[in-house]
Amino acid sequence: MALVPCQVLRMAILLSYCSILCNYKAIEMPSHQTYGGSWKFLTFIDLVIQAVFFGICVLTDLSSLLTRGSGNQEQERQLKKLISLRDWMLAVLAFPVGVFVVAVFWIIYAYDREMIYPKLLDNFIPGWLNHGMHTTVLPFILIEMRTSHHQYPSRSSGLTAICTFSVGYILWVCWVHHVTGMWVYPFLEHIGPGARIIFFGSTTILMNFLYLLGEVLNSYIWDTQKNPPSWQDMKIKFMYLGPSS
């Protein structure tokens, strides 16, 4: 009943997320004391999503080890439910939200860091913690996709779920602004209402794109390992947006 390297790696990733969350919550920043606390930031929500996801991964690994060879059908049914939850979380939340946070943060940061992560925050958040929140999320989730097969839900239900999450977060950001008169992210203060609508719509579209990207990447890694497709084949598959097989 020995742990294999990928199971040990998942446990290490889970512990790293727990450490990042604990260190982040221990920081006494003014924004943590205002309405919504840390929960108004997508970065923090993503950290919670990643920690819960890898927690489910570790729980699935342990359950699989304990169930293996037992012949207990009830335990096997519970394990299948756990695997289904793990796969759903990766497809709908962990991959698209995680990649979104990393990509959007660093793009805006490169353009003008004051719009997303003011220099003042360097006095509160050390560099390693910033990378733990905004950088390592991407390699961790890619490692998980590469080391474990995940069954994606139907495309319609998956896109519906990620749209619900995206719209829900946008409404939450607008509500925080309604209550406090301040936008969660500084750059929203510098653009007009029309530009905000375009930005919010674009982020929802990007989330849907990232869901589809995750589906294609998962298929590329696992469904064709014996005969990997050419780059042209992968582009054709990604452009096809009909019902999943």
- Whole-number Å distance between alpha carbons of 67 and 61: 10
Per residue in 139-154, pLDDT tens?
A: 999 999 998 889 999 9
Instruction: Take residue 216 and report the two structure tokens written for it.
Output: 């294609």
Find out whether 217 and 99 touch, Cβ atoms under 8 Å.
Answer: no
**Burial class, 242, CB count within 10 angstroms (exposed 0-12 / middle 13-18 / buried 19+):** exposed
Instruction: Take residue 60 and report the two structure tokens written for it.
Output: 């699935």
Per-residue pLDDT at 79: 87
Per residue in 53-109, pLDDT tens?
A: 999 999 999 888 887 766 677 778 888 899 999 999 999 999 999 999 999 999 999
pTM across the whole model: 0.86
Per residue in 151-174, pLDDT tens?
A: 999 999 999 999 999 999 999 999
pLDDT at residue 176 tops 50 = yes
Which residues, in sequence order, are CB contacts of 237 under 8 Å at separation 6+? 216, 219, 220, 229
